A = this chain, B = another copy of it.
Amino acid sequence: MPPECHPIADRPQEQEKDQVRISELSRRSGVPNATIKFYLREGLVPPGRATSATQAEYDEGHLRRLRLVRALISVRGLSVSAAKEVVGSLGEVEGDTYELLGLVFGVWPGADGNGPAGSGGGEGRGGGEDHDEGEDADVDALVAELGWDVTEFSPARKTVTQTLNTLRNLGLDCGWRDLVPYARLAERTATLDLDQIEGPDDPLEKAERAVLLTFLLEPALLALRRLAQESEAAARYRDQGLP
């Protein structure tokens, strides 16, 4: 079994108190007081249980929701309104991890705030209004070769198409077949990623972890490739040119 990143909040002392003030919510999430109040005003985090005219208490559900909102805005880089749309659609997909992950990753149209509002799940998929026929022919061929089960909405498709076009424009005759061995390794990376989010049962925690690990690991994965290239180059070529 691969190692796994555990949420620090799993430590028992963190769960002693069920209902907490906003300052404690801030301490436990690392999100500043003022930011929490902003999220509350914007409806990104539901209101707490009022204990007086000016005070309220919050529970574990608020903490998890707050952490997911922070991940969507600070890490995934969504706008406040796009993040609001995503968390607003959570209820519709809560029991379905596949739909939940598609929502937080922006696979479905609308989840990025670009497409039709509120189309977080359900019938919207399969329409393909945004899919430019022909333009993604390389990616369609690649996906078919790999046997991947992906929708036609993912922005990742366009990235692959653009990369192949750029390489060709710069004089390297690269086609989708050149990407197949890389894609097989990406499959194994994705398996590791999904293993990391198997842990938590709570869907909000699963979603938060998926966003954090997917987006934050990106620079590290590229850095590991650079280091591995250096090591592989040393094995193949070092001292080759010396007398």
Least distance between A191 CB and chain B CB atoms (Å): 6
A96-B242, A233-B97 known; A4 vs B178 contact (CB < 8 Å): yes
Give the one of A9, A187, A240 with max B CB within 10 A. A187
Segment from A18-26, A51-59, A127-135, A165-173 that makes contact with B? A165-173
CA distance A194 to B107 in the complex (A): 32
Oligomeric state, in number of copies? 2
A97-B240, A190-B225 known; A230 vs B9 contact (CB < 8 Å): no
Residues on A close to B: CB < 8 A?
Answer: 2-9, 29-30, 67, 70-71, 75, 93-99, 101-102, 105, 107, 143, 146, 148-151, 154, 156-157, 159-160, 162-164, 166-175, 177-183, 185-194, 196, 209, 212-214, 216-242
In the complex, which residues of chain B have a beta carbon less than 8 angstroms from the beta carbon of A7? 171-173
Contact between chains at A96 and B241 (CB < 8 Å): yes
Contact between chains at A212 and B154 (CB < 8 Å): no
Contact between chains at B107 and A150 (CB < 8 Å): no
CA distance A173 to B30 in the complex (A): 14
CA distance A30 to B172 in the complex (A): 12
Contact between chains at B187 and A156 (CB < 8 Å): no
In the complex, which residues of chain B have a beta carbon less than 8 angstroms from the beta carbon of A185? 185, 188-189, 192
A7-B173, A97-B236 known; A228 vs B186 contact (CB < 8 Å): yes
Least distance between A193 CB and chain B CB atoms (Å): 6
Contact between chains at B234 and A98 (CB < 8 Å): yes
Contact between chains at A167 and B212 (CB < 8 Å): yes
Contact between chains at A231 and B150 (CB < 8 Å): yes
In the complex, which residues of chain B have a beta carbon less than 8 angstroms from the beta carbon of A237? 96-98, 101
Contact between chains at A227 and B192 (CB < 8 Å): no
Contact between chains at B194 and A230 (CB < 8 Å): no
Closest 8 CB pairs of A and B: A96-B241, A95-B241, A190-B228, A156-B223, A159-B223, A163-B220, A186-B224, A97-B237
CA distance A8 to B174 in the complex (A): 9
CA distance A225 to B217 in the complex (A): 11
In the complex, which residues of chain B have a beta carbon less than 8 angstroms from the beta carbon of A5? 167, 172-174, 178
Contact between chains at B227 and A172 (CB < 8 Å): no
Least distance between A24 CB and chain B CB atoms (Å): 15
